[in-house]
Amino acid sequence: MTASDAITIEQAAKRYGGLQAIAPMSLRIKKGEVVALIGPSGAGKSTLLNMLAAIELPDTGTILLDEKTTSLYRNPKDLAKKAGIIRQQFDLVGPLPVIHNVLAGKLADWGFWKSLWSFIFPQEKQAAMKALERVGLSDKIYDRTARLSGGEQQRVALARLLVQNPEVILADEPVSSLDPARAKDIIQILVSLAKSENKTLVASLHSLDLAKMHFDRVIALRDGQIFFDRKSDTITTEDLTQLYQLTEQKQNAT
Amino acid sequence: MKHTRFKIGFVRGSLLAAFLLMITSWMYIFSVEDADFLRLFSEKNKQFTIEFLQNLAGIGVENPAFTNAESWKSAAVLSFKTLVMSVMAVGFATLGMLLTVIPAASTAASGMLTLSRTRYGWFIYGFIRLFYTVSRAVPELLWAMIIILILKPGILPGAIALALHNFGILGKLCAETVEDMDIRPVRSLASSGASKPQIFLYGIFPTILPKFISYIVYRWEVIIRTTVVVGLVGAGGLGHEFKLSMSWFHYTEVALYLICYVILVFLVDLISEGMRKIAQR
């Protein structure tokens, strides 16, 4: 283990009842790496990301987040500084104005009274404004979040993550409900933000083009195991065909 | 080719059932109960009705109540008291509901909403839900009769009786609203480091507020109509005076109170409609 590891997974496994979601696996992700996680549905991508975010703990083995085992992050406010997760746009509070959803990233730093006061008179507006500018939504700061389009809502979620400012950004299929143009746009913003702020990014994706185009390293999961783990420019079409091959066909072939 | 059997299905079945019910019900009313609608319109009943309406309208009555400024003034005071009773009732009910609604949601008891499961969560849930059931199972009128035995007759016992019944109803409706809430935003707030009070303020409160307001003002509409019923057993306000005037045969006063009552109901409906529009803009 080197000092520059953001994430270290050592023989971590997770089981849901009879289903082996993650078979024992080991993995290292360095600080500042931009990693795409691909694989067919049910391969364990979400489970892995939830374990990295310490929302779930592995049954066996350990996951280190910045050299500290995830089970030791007792205080959610400390954890929020280490890792932040972005999912599909349904994670925002629809009836609230955009600015409150962005400032929700500050809740880890604020006490209750400050958040109550901010609910009436938004505090640290500069931080929210700056984040919204970076995702290109500064004109919608007081709009009702539910009125924004899917792509815009996902930008708001990105702005919240910017305000939260975690060391590791985890993205669980952040663009799966967007059209290809919006998806590309969001991924571009996400990757460029991670790179300019020197953050570690792990994003699960269904679009292989996006993974190859924007990410340095691609980790493919299949049946809870690492199928391959390579630099994105060395991945061939054949690798992908094998990865996504339906189980029925595989059985027929053998 | 496979032969598909004829199936009645749900829609066709219920239509048929409704049709059958209608026929048998009317048959029962006419043949078994031996109803005679014509008898309702007999000469005697007609005479009584006309007399009552004339009394209400104050025909042939010296100094009818609704032409008397003094009577209007006392009726206005009574109307205001009735309004105060309804506002107190809905206020108490809402307060009680707000204090209990979160632990009364099954999503909170299971730990899904608050993201922490406690050992006593389900126990508290069951206890509050039982409380809701009991308080709404007893009608306002019975609550009023019980409470007036304990307290002196007046507006306060009426308000408490109405509040008790509506507390159970509001609690159930609002707890179900909380249960139906999308919990993804709440989970996401939790993972960005928000504490429980912060999650409530930013995640739960704005999401449930419009529905809560619409339930609360709807119950207020119902309460203002029911104030008369609890008034009958001595809980004060328009209903109480209505009953007294009725038993003293002061029919013009009865007419006056009816007018005030209709205005009151109309007013409350108007306000609640406006509030609902604001809440769901």
Q: What is the assigned CATH class of domain A5-253? A: alpha beta
Q: Rounded mean pLDDT of chain A?
A: 85
Confidence of residue B280 (pLDDT cuts 50, 70, 90): confident
Report, as an integer, the average pLDDT of B138-165: 90
Residues of B with Cβ-Cβ distance to A84 under 8 angstroms: 191-192
Fold of the CATH domain B67-279? MetI-like fold (1.10.3720)
DSSP string, A72-100: G---HHHHHHHEEEE-SGGGS-TTSBHHH
Choose among A80, A112, A115: nearest Cβ to B192. Answer: A80
- Residue A37 · residue A205 · CB < 8 Å: yes
pLDDT of residue A247: 57
pLDDT of residue A138: 85
The answer to whether the Cβ–Cβ distance between A108 and B189 falls below 8 Å is no
The strand pairing partners of A3, in sequence order, are none
Residues in contact with B54: Cβ distance below 8 Å, sequence separation at least 6, in sequence order: B60
Report, as an integer, the average pLDDT of B25-52: 80
pLDDT of residue B97: 94
> Of B177, B191, B208, which to mutate for an interface test with A (greatest number of A Cβ within 10 Å)?
B191
> Over the stretch A37-63, which tens digit does the pLDDT of each residue have?
998 888 888 889 988 888 888 888 888
The answer to whether the Cβ–Cβ distance between A90 and B187 falls below 8 Å is no
Residue A186 has pLDDT above 90, yes or no: no
> Over the stretch B216-256, which tens digit does the pLDDT of each residue have?
999 999 999 898 888 888 777 888 888 888 888 888 888 88
Length of chain A: 254
Of the listed ranges A41-55, A67-81, B6-20, the one predicted with least confidence: A67-81
Share of chain B above pLDDT 90, in %: 33
ipTM over 0.90: no
Report which DSSP code applies to A144: B
Q: What letters, b where the CB count within 10 A reaches 16 and e where it falls short, cover A230-253?
A: eebeebeeebbeebeeeeeeeeee
Chain A residue with the nearest C-alpha to that of B190: A76
Domain residue spans in chain A?
A: 5-253
The answer to whether the Cβ–Cβ distance between B192 and A81 falls below 8 Å is no
pLDDT of residue A254: 42
Residues of B with Cβ-Cβ distance to A82 under 8 angstroms: none
Residue A244 has pLDDT above 60, yes or no: yes
DSSP string, B95-158: HHHHHHTTTTSHHHHTTTTTS---TTHHHHHHHHHHHHHHHHHS-HHHHHHHHHHHSPSSHHHH
Choose among A77, A79, A87: nearest Cβ to B188. Answer: A87
> Of A82, A90, A91, A154, which to mutate for an interface test with B (greatest number of B Cβ within 10 Å)?
A91
Dist. CA A8–CA B32, nearest whole Å: 83
Report, as an integer, the average pLDDT of A149-177: 89
H or E segment and range at residue A172: strand A168-172
B67: which 2 tokens? Answer: 């032409």
Confidence of residue A253 (pLDDT cuts 50, 70, 90): very low
Dist. CA B83–CA B93, nearest whole Å: 15
Confidence of residue A201 (pLDDT cuts 50, 70, 90): very high
Choose among B188, B193, B210: nearest Cβ to A108. Answer: B193
- Residue A235 · residue A244 · CB < 8 Å: no
pLDDT of residue A197: 86
Residues of B with Cβ-Cβ distance to A177 under 8 angstroms: none
- Residue B168 · residue B133 · CB < 8 Å: yes
Q: Rounded mean pLDDT of chain B?
A: 87
Choose among B192, B198, B207: nearest Cβ to A164. Answer: B192
Chain B residue with the nearest C-alpha to that of A157: B188
Chain A residue with the nearest C-alpha to that of B281: A95
Whole-prediction pTM:
0.75
> Over the stretch B80-109, which tens digit does the pLDDT of each residue have?
999 999 999 999 999 999 999 988 888 887
Of the listed ranges A71-80, A134-143, B90-99, the one predicted with least confidence: A71-80
B261: which 2 tokens? Answer: 């009552």
Report, as an integer, the average pLDDT of A227-238: 84
Q: Which residue has the higher pLDDT, A207 or B18?
A: B18
Choose among A87, A94, A115: nearest Cβ to B201. Answer: A115
Q: Would you call A84 an interface residue with chain B, using a CB distance cutoff of 8 Å?
A: yes
Within its chain, how far is the Cα of B272 from the centroid? 13
Q: 3-class SS at A122?
A: coil
The answer to whether the Cβ–Cβ distance between A93 and B206 falls below 8 Å is yes
Q: Which 96-125 residues of chain A touch chain B by CB within 8 A?
A: 96, 100, 104-105, 107-108, 110, 112, 115-116, 119
Residues of A with Cβ-Cβ distance to B182 under 8 angstroms: 90
A92: which 2 tokens? Answer: 């925002």
Choose among A87, A91, A116: nearest Cβ to B201. Answer: A116
pLDDT of residue B87: 94
Q: Which 44-63 residues of chain A touch chain B by CB within 8 A?
A: 53, 55
Alpha helices of chain A — where are they, by DSSP H? 45-52, 76-82, 98-103, 112-120, 125-134, 150-164, 180-196, 208-214, 237-244, 247-253
Of the listed ranges A76-85, B162-171, B202-211, the one predicted with least confidence: A76-85
